[in-house]
Structure 1
Amino acid sequence: MLLNELYQKLMPYQKAKRWIIGLSGGMDSTVLLHLLVELKKQYPLPTLSAIHIHHGLQTIADHWPDHCQSICDQLNIPLTIVKVTITQQASIEQAARDARYTAFANQLQTGDILITAQHKNDQAETLLFRLFRGAGVKGLMSMPNQRPLGQGTLIRPLLNIPYDTLRHYAESNQLCWIEDPSNQDTHYARNYLRHQIFPKIIDYWPQAIHNIVQTSEHMQEAQKLLNELAQQDLLEAQTPPLYHWLSVPSLLVAPLKNLSTARQKNALSFWLSNYTLQPSTQHWHGWFDLINAKETATPIWQLHNAEIHRGNHRIWLLKNDWLTKPSSVHLPIETAKEICLPNNGLAKLSGKLPQGSFYITYRQGGESISLIRGTRDLKKLFNEETIPNFLRQRLPLLIDQQGNLVAVANHPQWFNKNYSKDFTFEWIAPHFSS
């Protein structure tokens, strides 16, 4: 019965390139490995292999790779062993988990399936653990049955299988597994929940695990509805900006302001999920400060490794190179060509440059340009076009040998009247990477 249930869960992935089992050496993953080997005897399955992540947090753990190798040798399954270094954080559990999944992701190739052995009890523990930490609907979904990981997909086919069923299978088949002594240490929050809290809950409510997992399924349905609502609410806000040459993600402010507070948070959470970690409950005040600021203000909302800026009637998400002010440049130009700008993409001069020497730099303040309609202050031109502040410090300027502003990249309307338009001045902005 267990074998058939596992096969039904994995049938959609039969055409995958490889199935890779996450093997810790504990009972759960040992049962999963054994089940998959038995399954391959009955059905044509993708190539099976296993991966063991060695955290090195305990001296005894140094023997676990050898144990996993021994099991895999007996079953004729190739094993990859990856040693990771744990960066000390407030939660050693979370740090170990992050390192483990990063290592998994790095090993997956396009089309690979990583199969892990979390079971029904793990799912219930996850929901309760997150509930105590104040999670919302998304957090209370617990663990998804599948999700993208690296270039492949992570599958958890045992989430509906109780721990006792796996234990019975392990003992019936006389499997040999590792008992991690740290799993008994109730200083760790998950272990305290497992050993001190859950037994009391189950004594009083025998169906608690089933019911808690059912709640996580309800939360998954609720989150799907919230995602659909977010996509509808973002339709108008996702109108592309006028700057076709700019890859920075952005949204129009007005459609967002028309939404209720709850729908604003839902839409923005959905949008941000592609780029950065979700803001905490306490952190959302920064969003409302930003969206309710005066039209002339230039507020910034600080997020985890990202910032939201407001400008040109939009919000803009900045990450990575976009958070670093480009280095000052004074690049001499004599012929039309592409010029690499440190931390700021490329400047491209095409056509026929006039006689003389030119150079590329950035705005310092106080610049003006001679246009057909008169000399204009560059700051006022920026204000009239409502160019966001983060762009003003990055737009390349072309200067002649007398120090006159000749052109502003990507803005052909701002071209010095004393020069003929025989050339174009473009800026190929840095690519935004999520």
Structure 2
Amino acid sequence: MSLETRLLSCVQPWIDAPAWRVALSGGLDSSVLLHLLARLSHVQQLPPLSAIHIHHGLQAQADAWAEHCQQLCAGLGVPLEIVRVRVEGGASLERAAREARYAAFRERLGVDELLLTAQHLDDQAETLLFRLLRGAGVRGLAGMPPVRALGAGKLARPLLGVTRQELHSYASVHQLSWVEDPSNENLHYSRNYLRRRVMPVLTERWPQSASALGRTAMHLREAQLLLDERADEDLAQAASTAPFSWLTCPSLDMTVLSALSPARQRNTLRRWLDLLGTAMPDSDHWAGWDALRDAAVDAQPVWRLAGSELRRSGARVYWLSGDWCAEPPQPAAWDFVGGAQQLPGNGSLTLQGQGELPGLLQVRYRQGGERLVLAGRRQRDLKRLLNESGLPAFVRARLPLLWRGDELLAVANLPLLSDLTGSGLRLIWTPPGAAHDQAVLPPSQV
């Protein structure tokens, strides 16, 4: 079966996409992919085809590579967009370049458009070996998926079943030229070491090693799909209604999670964290979950992750990110003049209802010792009222309080505490992250 036929079979599910865009580096693999698609477009009705070249500016030849891509696309009659990105330095320049590249792709991919990249079977085999040597689990060993979401569209890898040698043969037959990145010869990079030193030895002893490793990745990907299905079932059980509907932090029922085996707990949490866009913790870091799960009921355990954290309160575990992970606002006071008012790092506040503002008002946070006069002129200690409400402890330092001079008038959002007595007004707080989407549930539950 020809490469064109195999490629067309792989991209058939997206034949009605608004546009196809090829990630073009100018190297062998992406040059062949673009050439194949351009040829197909002459004999098949395909979506509009264009290419994107990311100019990292990291090599002296970067401008020449962009010019080569321009000439290649001009010869094929394919529009090209050259995007210059800034790569931030760090421990891994390779990772930083990749993050900058995919950020540019996400920004430019329209709704339902398809980005096609040229990773092939040998790349998949190297990825599996690389992740195996790093101790990856099933998800990591499943390798690169053939398709995944990217921004408003999707990313597809239609050449994962094609070997590097097949691509090279195609390029030779069609007299294609391509650029060579000198960094691909640098054995300091682990992937280059695997490609140059390890894979040739394996192929000498087992000629079909790349194909075998590719099949292994496919089997593991299927196993991961089954694990995700099980996790989705467990998430649906654990994602019961939280007691405070206005609290936008995603949460799960600890009672349901604790009833699962430890392996199913980790599987469910991995799925949840993945849906929330949180980096997976490594094996040793899972001890943080054990400590959070087994903490005393009245404790306030925290499991800190990359860019987010889990907190337990009562019978629920909450996922916090963004402003929620910063220190609560320091004690301060803001004049409140009505309307929606932004609170620094803490969402916004407004008064709902019909009525006049009862004098000069200020917004403050708890400092301790506050007392509130309830309906019937009963004065109660605020700490006791919050304990009775069951409001999670991590929320209380952020909870806006409305004052008139030395008199506490209302506590935002809480029943009976948020009404300004006799005014017809109610204090409403929109916490940070209220626009967070509902990716806390598996797709079938959203």
Shorter-chain TM-score range: over 0.9
CA distance in 1, matches of 2:93, 2:346: 38
Matching of residue 406 in structure 1 with residue 392 in structure 2: no
Q: How far apart are 1:343 and its partner, in Å?
A: 2.3
Where does 1:58-69 land on structure 2 (aligned, <5 Å)? 58-69=59-70
Identical residues among aligned pairs (%): 45
| Residue of structure 1 in register with 2:333 after alignment | 330
Give the whole-Å Cα distance in 2 for the aligned partners of 1:320 and 1:432: 12
CA drift of 1:373 comes to 8.3
For residue 48 of structure 1, report the CA deviation from its aligned partner.
Answer: 0.8
Matched, 1:221 2:204: no
Shift of 1:330: 2.2
Deviation at residue 342 of structure 1 after TM alignment: 2.4
Which residue is equivalent to 2:35?
34
Amino acid at match of 1:188: Y
Matched ranges for 1:260-279 at <5 A: 260-275=261-276, 276-279=278-281
Q: Say yes or no: does 1:316 pair with 2:318.
A: yes
Corresponding residue for 2:440? none
Aligned residue identity for 1:14: I
Deviation at 1:415, TM superposition (A): 6.3
Cα deviation per residue 1:232-266 (whole Å; 9 max; x = unaligned)?
11122101212111221111111111111111110
Deviations 1:392-427 (A, max 9, x none): 0121112222x122211112323689x436322221
Aligned to 2:103: 102
Counterpart contact for 1:248–1:432, Cα < 8 Å? no
CA distance in 2, matches of 1:317, 1:202: 46
Deviations 1:12-33 (A, max 9, x none): 1111111111111111111111
Q: Does 1:397 align with 2:413?
A: no
After superposition, what is the alpha-carbon deviation per residue over 1:287-315, rounded to whole angstroms, capped at 9, x for unaligned? 11111100000111111111111114211
Asked whether the equivalents of residues 20 and 113 of structure 2 are also in contact (C-alpha less than 8 Å), the reply is: yes
2:17·2:114 contact (CA, 8 Å) conserved in 1? Answer: yes
Instruction: Report the CA distance shift for 1:376/1:180 in structure 2 as closer, same or farther (over 3 A).
Output: same
Equivalent position SS for 1:126:
helix
**What does 1:292-311 correspond to in 2, within 5 Å?**
292-311=294-313
1:169 correspondence with 2:170: yes
- Secondary structure of 2:50's partner? strand
Matches within 5 A, 1:15-414: 15-275=16-276, 276-324=278-326, 325-326=328-329, 328-333=331-336, 337-349=339-351, 350-353=353-356, 355-371=358-374, 372=376, 374-401=378-405, 403-414=406-417
| Cα offsets for 1:63-116 (capped at 9, x unmatched) | 100011011111111111112222222222222222211111111111211111
Shift in CA distance, 416/155, structure 1 to aligned 2, threshold 3 Å: closer
Q: Does structure 2 conserve the Cα–Cα contact (< 8 Å) formed by 1:53 and 1:100? A: yes
Q: Note the alpha carbon deviations across 1:148-205, whole angstroms, 9 max, x for none.
A: 1111110100000111111111001111111222111111110000010111111111
Matched, 1:11 2:12: yes
Query: What secondary structure sits across from 1:3 in the alignment?
Result: helix
Task: Please tell me whether the aligned partners of residues 137 and 219 of structure 1 are also in contact (alpha carbons under 8 angstroms).
Answer: yes
> 2:228 corresponds to which letter in structure 1?
N
Deviation of 1:346 after TM superposition, in Å, equals 2.3
Q: Secondary structure at the match of 1:270?
A: helix
Change (3 A) 1:327 1:79: farther
Q: Secondary structure at the match of 2:427?
A: strand
CA distance in 2, matches of 1:59, 1:414: 65
How far does the alpha carbon of each residue in 1:36-63 deviate from its partner, in whole angstroms, 9 at most, with x for none? Answer: 0110010111111111111222212331
SS in 2 for 1:352: coil
Distance 1:268 1:32 in 2: 38
Count of aligned pairs between the two proteins: 431
Q: Distance in 1 between matches of 2:94 and 2:207?
A: 28
Conserved 8 A contact 2:24-2:34 = yes
List runs of 5+ in structure 2 lacking aligned partners: 438-446
Aligned-partner Cα distance in 1 for 2:46–2:417: 63
In 2, are the aligned partners of 1:253 and 1:315 still within 8 Å (CA)? Answer: yes
In 2, are the aligned partners of 1:338 and 1:346 still within 8 Å (CA)? yes
Q: Is the CA contact 1:405–1:416 (under 8 Å) kept in the aligned structure 2?
A: no
Structure 1 residue runs of 5 or longer lacking an equivalent are: none
